[in-house]
Structure 1
Amino acid sequence: MENKRRPNLTFTPIGQVLDSILDQCRSESAGGIMHLVHVWEKAVGPPISDNAKPFAVKGSLLLVHVSSSAWLHQLRFLKAELLEKLNHSLTNERIEDIKFKIGLM
């Protein structure tokens, strides 16, 4: 039996594949969570954006995952300010409430 050699295939990292799929499903022009993540990072800036990331949107409620209970507590005090900054940066959407939860980031 003849041993056939396969051509040298290069592999693509799974993160790159997932980013591509998410970009197709949730483009910035269509809004969605990916657009909100970019706006969030610019609106709130570091270190908040390093410790809190938008996870989901349901209607006008934004669910944000935070890195620790300390950040959860702090961001609850800053909720009104964060809502104002976020809505100022959004063009068409409007977020009326934010729920913070410790979760994967």
Structure 2
Amino acid sequence: MDPKQKPKGKLSIGSEVLQRLFENGKSPLSEQFMRWKLWAKWEEVVGPTIAKNAEPVGFQRGVLYVWVRNSSWMQQMIFMKDPIRDTINQKFENNFVKYIKFTLDRREVPTEDTSTFKEMIQKIAPESDDE
């Protein structure tokens, strides 16, 4: 590149490029990035009261598994299932969550090792306020 020539667009940092790639892709890695993003923004999506009593614990093939603190909250969450799903799909990606399944037992959730993915993303794009 000629030193006198200026770049045409704003330069993007690596984490921005990866985020756009993960958000716009249709790969399994993209799906897991969206899942991780939902986990990170759960309280923002559902509000502080629900977030204290329910948390996402699994995601597989469009089904979001949400652990609920007790049976009273389970009943409440069943009534809020569709609005929560719609809010998630509005904020993240249309039709990202097709169905929400609530559980009182975390062992009922299909397991997959995603801790390494979360660690990889945090190394690449650590959450910081000094941007």
**TM-score normalised per structure 2:** 0.52
Cα distance, 1:93 vs. partner?
6.6
Letter in 2 for 1:60: G
TM-aligned CA distance change 1:93 to 1:38, over 3 Å: farther
The counterpart of 1:47, out of the listed 46, 49, 57, is 49
Calculate percent identity across the aligned residue pairs: 30
Is the strand fraction higher in 1 or 2? 1
Aligned length, in residue pairs: 78
Cα distance, 1:92 vs. partner?
7.0
Cα distance, 1:37 vs. partner?
1.0
Q: Which residue of 2 aligns with 1:67?
A: 69
Q: Output the CA distance in 2 between the equivalents of 1:36 and 1:70.
A: 24
SS in structure 1 of the partner of residue 97 of structure 2: coil
Q: Give the CA RMSD over aligned residues.
A: 2.2
Cα distance, 1:45 vs. partner?
0.8
Matched, 1:94 2:85: no
Gaps of 5+ in 1: 1-27
**TM-score normalised per structure 1:** 0.64
Letter in 1 for 2:104: I
